Structure 1
Amino acid sequence: MDRRNFIGRLTAGGLAASALPHLAFPAPVSYVSRAGAKEMKADVVIAGGGLGGFAAGMAALRNGLKVIMTEETDWIGGQITQQGVPSDEHQWIETTGATQMYRDYRNGVRDYYRKYYPMREEARKNPLLNPGNSTGARRLGHEPKVTLAVMYQMLAPYLSNGQLTLLLEHKVIDADNDGEMVRSLLAKSRIRGSETVLEAPYFIDATELGDLLPLTNTAYVTGTESNKQTGEMHAPDQADPDNDQAFTLCFAVDYLEGEDHTIDKPDEYEFWRNFEPKMKPPWSGKLLDWHYSNPSTLEPRLLGFDPRGGNTGDLLNLWNYRRLVHKDNFEPGFFKGDITVVNWPQNDYFLGSLIDVPEETFKKHVARATQLNLSLLYWLQTEAPRMDGGRGWPGLRLRKDVMGTEDGMAKYPYVRESRRIKALFTILEEHVGRENRASVTGNPNVEKAENFYDSVGIGYYHIDLHPSTGGDNYIDFRSFPFQIPLGALIPETKENLFPANKNIGTTHITNGCYRLAPVEWSIGEAVGLLLAFSSKRRVRPREIREGKLLAAFQQFVRSQGIHTHWPDQV
C-alpha cells in the first residue's frame, strides 16, 4: 500500500476556510500518467466501496450519473462486511435518524433471511427480526455475507446497464492535480498489477483512511487537536497528530459443546497474555482479562462470558454482545451453534497507528493485531476463567468462512479514525456534546445539538473514543442527536474532491459520534446527491452552500428520503 506522508500535513488551526476565488469548472481532460495504462471515464469516480462509498454511488446512480467505484478488497460494504462489524445503531433507527435507503437496506437484510433461511415461524414474522439477537445498540446482528448479497441486489440494475463500473481489488496509488482540481486518479489491480487512469469531473474519497487526501495534496488533520485550537472540553492541552483511536481486526467464532477446536499456541501468546496497557487514566489490569475500563467512568468493570448464551446475571455476556447468528431463530439443527464476532475491548489494537505510515509498518501492525486475536482465542479456549469455576472453552471454533479469509481475520481492519479534511466548517464538541454545549450556551438545560443552517442529514451516537495510540483510555460521554452540515463535506483546498467516510470535517472528539455506520452511510448519500445536483445545475458544489441554491438542494435531499432535521419528539 503506497501510504505517502503528506509533507504539509496540517494540525487543526482555524475552523473556517478563507474566501477562494471563483473558478470555472473545467471540462474532463484526457490524461495518461503511466505508459500502457488504460483509461476510463465517468461522471464520478469513487475510491472505496465501504458504506459511504456505496451510498454515494447509489445516490449518484439513481440520479442518472455514470460511476466508477474502486475497492481495495474483494468485498464492498466496508465496516459491516469486509471489517465484520455488526452496525452500532441508535434507539430510533427503525423510524428515523437514518436515510430511507439505509432503512431499505436493513429491511433487505431481514427479507434475505426470511426468504432463504429456514427460520422458526416466530422469528420470521418478527418485523424487527434480529438474526443474531445481539444486544444493546446492535439491533440487526447478521452475517457479513448477507449485507454483501443485499448490496449487490441494490447495485445489480446499474451493473447490468453499464452505468456502474466496479473495480474490486484495485487501490488508488497516485493522482494528477491541477491546482485546486483533481484531474485523474491512477488505480492499480492487486491481482494483475495492471494500472488504470480514472477521469471524471468529480472524485469521492470513501477509503477507510482517507487515502486520497495526501495523494491529491488536500489539506487534512490527523490525531488529536488541542483545547487551545478547538476550545473543546475533552480535548487535551497538547495536540498530537499521531494519537489515533485503536483499530480492531475482527474475527468470528461459533461454539460446539463437547468438541475441541483448540488452535495451536500463537507465537506471541506469552506477550499478549501478560500485556498490561499503559493508559491515562490507568487500565484495569491485563488486556486478556474479563475486567476492562468502564468507558464512561474508567473504573474497572467485570464482563461475563458464556458461549452457550446463558444468563450471566448483572454482567454483560460478551457472547451475545455482537452475535451474528442465534441458532434459536432458525429451525432446530440448522446451525450447530451460535456465531458471534469478536470486536471487544480485549482485541482493540493501540500499539501503533495505520495512518501516514509506510507499507511495512501497516503490515506489521495488522500482523500483530492478528497475533492478538489468536492469543485471545487461545486464552478463551484454554485459560479464560469460567463463571462455573472452570477454565477455558475448547468448543470455540474459528469461523474462517464468515470473514471469507484463509486466516479467519476480517479482510480489513475496522478503522475508527481516519485522516480528516480541513473543511469549510468543522464540527466541534460544543455543537453536539451535552456538557460542552451547556457550557457554551450558558443553559444547563439545553436539549438540542446546534442547528446547522446547511444541514443535509441527521444521525446519532454518543461520543465514543476507544483507547488510543498515544495512551489515552476511553473518552466516552453523552451527545445530542445531531445534523450533518454541508460545510463539513467540502474541503478548503479542493474544488472537486469530497469525503464520504470518517474523513469529513470533524475533530478527534466529534469523530467519536460521526464515525458509526448509519452516519457514514448518510454522509456518503448526501455527497452523492450533492454531485448529482451540481452536475445538473452546472455549478460548483461549494457555490450551493454559499448561494441561493442551498434551500433547493436541501429540498432535493429531503425528496430523496433524507431528513435534515430531527423530529421534535426525539
Structure 2
Amino acid sequence: MKKSDKRRNFRLNSCSRLTLPIVLLSQSLFPATAIAKTSPDETVNCEILIIGGGLAGTASAYEALLAGRTVCLTEISDWVGGQITSQGTSALDEGQQQRSLNYFPRGYQELRTNIERYYGQLNPGNCWVSHSCFIPKDAQNILFQELQWAAKRGNGQLKWFPSTVVKEVETDTEGRMIKGVTAIQHTPKPGQPDLNTLPLSKIYQDAYRYEDSPQLKKKVIRFVPKTGAKSKPADWYVIEATETGEVIALAGVPYRLGLDPRDPLNPSSPTETSDPYCTQGFTYTFAMERTASPVFQEQPPFYSQYQPYYGYDPNPRKANFDYVFTYRRIWHPKKGQLMQFGGVKFTEPMPGDISMQNWEWGNDYRPGTSQDNLIYSHDQLEQTGQLKPGGWMGGLRQETLRKGEEHALGFYYWLVEGTTDSQLGNGVKQRQPNHILLKGVNSPMGTEHGLSKYPYIREARRIIGRSSSDYPDGFAINELDISSKDYFNVHYRDAIPTRMYYDVWRQVTRLEVLSRGATPVSQMQYTKRTRSTPFADAVGITQYTIDFHPCMTNSPPELPGNREREDVRWGYAPAYPSQIPLRAMIPQKIDNLLVAGKSIAVSHIAAAAFRVQSFEWAVGAAAGTTADFALKKGILPYKLVEDVSEHNSELSQLKQVLENNGNPTHFPEFEVGRR
C-alpha cells in the first residue's frame, strides 16, 4: 500500500522554533545518587527479559515469541527498533556481498519485505547510500506489527514496557544468576506535555530517579522469573540489548570501552594503552523537507558555538548540497531528473522530498576526553556513585547529550543558511533556504523538537568473553579476524615495533591456517588474510566495512581548529563476510545473561564493523533463540562453548535450530573469502 498522501500530514515548523530551552535538571558535572525505593509498584513475570528495544532487542523478542515464550521487553523510548526508528538512521547499511546473496536472518528479511509492501517499493526515498531509505515512524509501526504477528503465530506473549529504564540488577548469593531486575517506567503527569515534547537530555536523569518529579510520574516495576518456572539450572534469561551496555555496568561484568591497546591482533590501534574516553561519535538525526519557496530561518542562540565544526567533508568531491541531501533521502514522491556529482548519480531533489541527516562533519558529535565523554567509564561510574545500590542514573553524561542536541540543530541551520565550510574554507557553502525542519508527533522522528528520540550510538561498553586455553585473557573478535588489510606494507613495518610486526605476521599465518585448514610451507607464508576467521560456535553472520567516526582530540569537540584523534582511521578497511560466535555473547560472571547488540565481545576496531542494522538483527535473533534453547535443554549457554568442536552435540543442535528457522550461521563456503 502506497502512502504518498499521508506525508502531507507532517507538521512543518521553520527554524524559528529550533531553540532548545537551556534548562538542565542538574548543573553538576556528575549526577547525585538516587534514593532507593524499597518496594515495587508492580511485579512482572517473564521467561525472557529483554532490556533494550532497539533492533537487537526486537530481533530477540521476535524469535522468542515465535518459540512461544513469555517475553518482557523494555525500552527507554516509546518505539521499538532503535537504529531505524527512535535513532532515526532509517537507511539500511548492508555489506555489498551479503546483500547480493540476499543472506539475512528471517526477521530482517521480513522487515525488508514489509517495507517494500508498505510503500510499494524498497527505497521510497530513492537515496543513493543504501538500497532502502524510509520514514522512521513508519518503520516503528512495521516492526511492532512484526512482533505482534510473531506472538500470534508462535503462541507467545509479549509484555511491552515503553519509556522504561533499568535501575537495579539483583543476583543470587553467589553472584552467578540474575534473580530480579528493577526498572522505572515514566509517564507525563496530568497537565504536563507529551514525553516527546522535550529532547532526551531534559528528562534523562529524571527518568532514572525513583521519586516522582514535577514533570514525570514514576512506576517501579520488578521483573522476576515466570511464576512456577521450574527450569534448571536457570529459570529465566536476561538479554542485554541496551544501546550503551547498561546491564553490563550494573551487573559488574568485565568490559572494555573506547580504544584498545595496540597488539598483534589489533595492530591498527592508534595507542599503546587503552583510552576509555575516545569512543565513536554519536548522532542526533533529524528530517528536513525541500519546499517550493524560501522559508525564514531564525539563527539559534547557540549556533556560533558549534559553527566552527560544520563542513561538507575534507574531500571536495562531497562539497555539494544536493549530494548531501539525497545521500539519505527517505521520501521522494515525485522523481526529478538524473544528476551526477563526484561520480555519484542521483535524482534531482524536488519539493516534498524529505532527507534524514546523519553527516560526519555535521550532526555527529564526537567528544573524546574525560571532561566531555558521553559514556561514563567504570572509574567515572564509581566516582558518581552510580554503582552503589539505587545509584544507577543511566551511565551517560547529560551535559554531553544536551550539547549533541544543540550541535544537531545548529547543523540544520548551517545547511540552510551557512556560507563557510570548516574543512574547505570560504566560497564553497551556499545558502539553501528552501527547506524546513520537520517537527511534531506525526513527523518522521515523532518529536515536537524534530530530533530523533534517542541518539544513534555507534559504540558501547563491550564485554570481555570468558577465558579459555586459546583466549587466556578472555574471548573477543579482533581486527585480524575480519579485516582484508595488507599488514605487511611499509606503513605497518615502520609504524609498529619490529617484534610486534613479526607477531602480526605469525597471527595472520595462524588465522589463515585455521581458515584454510592447510599447513603452510613456512611460518610466514601468508602475507594477508583471504577470508574471515571461522568460528565453530557461530550463531549468526554479518558484513560491513570497518568504518570510523573518530573522537575529536580536544575538548569541546566543536572547538575551532579541532581535529579528530590522530590515526584512529588506521583500521579502516573492507571486512570479509564474518560469523558471530556465541562466545562473544556470553559475559563473565553471570550465567543467565546473554549480550546482544553492540556490547558483544569485540575489539574497538572490530566493533566498527559490528554495529549496523543487519548485524544487530542477527545477534538479537541468536540471543532470543539461545535463551529459548537453554530453557528447553536445561543447560547454561556457557556450557555450549566449553567445547566448540564438531563433537559438541548440543551446540550442533542449537546451530541447526537457527539454520532451520532461517537464521544463517555461515555464508556459502565458496563465498567466504570474497568481499
Give the share of equivalent positions with the same residue, in percent. 29
1:464 CA displacement? 0.7
Where do residues 67-216 of structure 1 align in structure 2 (5 Å cutoff)? 67-85=71-89, 86-91=91-96, 92-93=98-99, 95-114=101-120, 129-136=122-129, 138-157=130-149, 163-178=157-172, 179-191=175-187, 192-200=217-225, 201-216=236-251
Q: Check 1:103–1:171 CA distance in 2 against 1; reply closer, same or farther (3 A cut).
A: same
1:395 CA displacement? 1.2
Give yes or no for the alignment of 1:244 onto 2:282. Answer: no
Q: Check 1:162–1:510 CA distance in 2 against 1; reply closer, same or farther (3 A cut).
A: closer
Q: Give the counterpart of 1:467 among 546, 550, 567.
A: 550
1:431 alignment partner AA: D
TM-score when scaled to structure 1?
0.82
CA offsets 1:33-69 (integer angstroms, 9 cap, x no match): 7324321111100011000000001111111211000
SS in 2 for 1:477: coil
Which residue of structure 1 aligns with residue 373 of structure 2?
Answer: 353
CA distance in structure 2 between the aligned counterparts of 1:469 and 1:188, rounded to whole angstroms: 34
CA distance in structure 2 between the aligned counterparts of 1:159 and 1:363, rounded to whole angstroms: 36
CA distance in structure 2 between the aligned counterparts of 1:337 and 1:155, rounded to whole angstroms: 32
Asked whether the 8 Å contact 1:384–1:391 carries over to 2, the reply is: yes
Where do residues 499-510 of structure 1 align in structure 2 (5 Å cutoff)? 499-510=595-606
Which residue of structure 1 aligns with residue 301 of structure 2?
Answer: 267
CA distance in structure 2 between the aligned counterparts of 1:452 and 1:367, rounded to whole angstroms: 42
Which residue of structure 2 aligns with residue 324 of structure 1?
Answer: 330
SS in 2 for 1:514: coil
Asked whether the 8 Å contact 1:33–1:186 carries over to 2, the reply is: no
Which residue of structure 1 aligns with residue 482 of structure 2?
Answer: 432
Structure with greater Cα Rg: 2
TM-score when scaled to structure 2?
0.69
Choose 51-60 or 216-225, whichever is displaced more.
Answer: 216-225
CA distance in structure 2 between the aligned counterparts of 1:508 and 1:271, rounded to whole angstroms: 30
Which residue of structure 2 aligns with residue 550 of structure 1?
Answer: 651
SS in 2 for 1:324: strand
1:246 CA displacement? 0.7
Which residue of structure 1 aligns with residue 437 of structure 2?
Answer: 398
Where do residues 363-378 of structure 1 align in structure 2 (5 Å cutoff)? 363-378=398-413
1:240 CA displacement? 0.8
Choose 439-448 or 167-176, whichever is displaced more.
Answer: 439-448
CA distance in structure 2 between the aligned counterparts of 1:144 and 1:94, rounded to whole angstroms: 25
CA distance in structure 2 between the aligned counterparts of 1:82 and 1:431, rounded to whole angstroms: 32
CA offsets 1:18-43 (integer angstroms, 9 cap, x no match): xxxxxxxxxxxxxx973243211111
Q: Check 1:219–1:446 CA distance in 2 against 1; reply closer, same or farther (3 A cut).
A: closer
Give yes or no for the alignment of 1:458 onto 2:541. Answer: yes
1:195 CA displacement? 0.3
2:251 alignment partner AA: T
Which residue of structure 1 aligns with residue 449 of structure 2?
Answer: 407
1:194 alignment partner AA: K
Q: Check 1:48–1:338 CA distance in 2 against 1; reply closer, same or farther (3 A cut).
A: same
CA offsets 1:446-505 (integer angstroms, 9 cap, x no match): 421111111111110110121215542552222211111111011122101111110000
Asked whether the 8 Å contact 1:244–1:469 carries over to 2, the reply is: no
2:57 alignment partner AA: G
SS in 1 for 2:160: strand
Asked whether the 8 Å contact 1:252–1:398 carries over to 2, the reply is: yes
1:565 CA displacement? 1.6
CA distance in structure 1 between the aligned counterparts of 2:329 and 2:427, rounded to whole angstroms: 22
Choose 469-478 or 508-517, whichever is displaced more.
Answer: 469-478
Q: Give the counterpart of 2:39 among 35, 40, 45.
A: 35
Choose 153-162 or 40-49, whichever is displaced more.
Answer: 153-162
Asked whether the 8 Å contact 1:431–1:437 carries over to 2, the reply is: no
2:655 alignment partner AA: Q
CA distance in structure 1 between the aligned counterparts of 2:356 and 2:478, rounded to whole angstroms: 33
1:541 alignment partner AA: P
Asked whether the 8 Å contact 1:225–1:238 carries over to 2, the reply is: yes
Give yes or no for the alignment of 1:305 onto 2:398. Answer: no
CA distance in structure 2 between the aligned counterparts of 1:46 and 1:246, rounded to whole angstroms: 26
Asked whether the 8 Å contact 1:350–1:467 carries over to 2, the reply is: yes
Give yes or no for the alignment of 1:289 onto 2:328. Answer: no
Asked whether the 8 Å contact 1:159–1:165 carries over to 2, the reply is: no
Query: Which ranges in structure 2 are unaligned for 5 or more consecutive residues?
Result: 1-24, 31-35, 188-216, 226-235, 337-349, 385-392, 467-474, 489-504, 510-523, 554-563
Q: Check 1:162–1:100 CA distance in 2 against 1; reply closer, same or farther (3 A cut).
A: closer
Which residue of structure 2 aligns with residue 121 of structure 1?
Answer: none
SS in 1 for 2:218: coil
CA distance in structure 2 between the aligned counterparts of 1:150 and 1:232, rounded to whole angstroms: 42
Asked whether the 8 Å contact 2:313–2:319 carries over to 1, the reply is: no
1:390 CA displacement? 8.2
Q: Check 1:532–1:141 CA distance in 2 against 1; reply closer, same or farther (3 A cut).
A: same
CA offsets 1:381-420 (integer angstroms, 9 cap, x no match): 2234799988311111101211111110100010001011
SS in 1 for 2:63: helix
2:186 alignment partner AA: R
